[in-house]
Amino acid sequence: MQQTRLSRRWLIKIVIFFVASAGLGLWGLYDATLAYPARGKAHAEYMEYQYLLAMGQAGLPVLPLKDPEAAYKTLREDHDKAEAQRAQAESQGQELAKKRFEAALVMEQWLLSLKTVGQLDLEHARIEDPITRFSELSAKWQSRDQPKPLSGFDLPLQWGFVFIGFGLAAYLLLLVVRVNATKYRFDPEELRLTFPGGASITPGDIEDIDKRKWDKFLVQIKSGGKWRKLDLLRYEPLEQWFETMEKQTSFYEAPDEPEEGPEQTAPADESAEAEKV
């Protein structure tokens, strides 16, 4: 009794999809845990530098934040008002007032950058010595470009790639295990095909064959009034067994062989010319 094994061509296809899926998951994991948080923290630090710079230019003291979340909420609610007041002060030539409103807007951006990377708390928003901190940040960021800020969707999107990539990879592994556990058996002497559920048929039991999805390596066999599907792509040598049984059915029709055309011969005059040459 022979039994099927996993098709090599199907396994190659699955391996390609598995590598691509796992690669997507690893890429998303790297971005979600390392690359994007590092970029977000760098942008938050740069905005802290810009905030201290704006406060200094506006002549405002940098006071400790007792509740960073509440401070950000207030600044966000007053954003449009601060923008309008800044524009009005600029149009009226009130340079100091303009800088003070600008400082409030920059502070909002700084707190938002901390919130994006989950650091909007007293530990990360505390500035104990504004002068020393400004000197440190100025030495670091004065000659560097502004890091690209993170949007609120960047980190969730990368985690989405992680779940999609690793989820699909896990599904493919389980699929291989399930398919490998499914076996068809064949008795070459009786030409008896046994299905995974235990039912078996011989060519005489076949009532009809549906090959409309042959191009997708799928074929259905009707026996006892019931249709059963054969997946010829996943299992070897199931296709050869099926073809052997199909040839023994009463309704089998051999495919027409292409007719050979009459042998082409060169005209007599052309043959003569060829001999002369």
For position 115, what pLDDT does the model report?
A: 95
Closest to 97 in 3D by CA, of 89, 88, 87: 89
DSSP β-bridge partners for residue 226: 223
| 236: Cβ contacts below 8 Å, ≥ 6 apart | 4, 5, 6, 7, 8
For position 52, what pLDDT does the model report?
A: 96
Across residues 61-80, what is the average pLDDT?
A: 94
- What are residue 218's phi and psi, to 5 degrees? -125, 135
Checking if the pLDDT of 275 tops 50, the result is no
Q: What is the pTM of this model?
A: 0.75
Contact assessment for residue 88 and residue 180, using Cβ atoms and an 8 Å cutoff: no
pLDDT range class, residue 258, cuts 50, 70, 90? low
Q: Which amino acid is at 51?
A: Y
Query: Cα(2)–Cα(192) distance, rounded to whole angstroms?
Result: 10
User: For a pLDDT cut of 90, what percent of the chain falls above it?
Assistant: 85
Query: Cα(137)–Cα(44) distance, rounded to whole angstroms?
Result: 11
Across residues 76-102, what is the average pLDDT?
A: 95
**Model pLDDT for residues 100-147, shown as the tens digit of each residue:** 999 999 999 999 999 999 999 999 999 999 999 999 999 999 888 899
pLDDT range class, residue 250, cuts 50, 70, 90? confident
- What are residue 9's phi and psi, to 5 degrees? -65, -35
Checking if the pLDDT of 192 tops 70, the result is yes
Contact assessment for residue 120 and residue 72, using Cβ atoms and an 8 Å cutoff: yes
Across residues 15-31, what is the average pLDDT?
A: 97
**Model pLDDT for residues 47-58, shown as the tens digit of each residue:** 999 999 999 999
Closest to 25 in 3D by CA, of 167, 162, 155: 162
Q: Which amino acid is at 12?
A: I
For position 152, what pLDDT does the model report?
A: 86
- What are residue 270's phi and psi, to 5 degrees? -70, -35
Checking if the pLDDT of 270 tops 70, the result is no
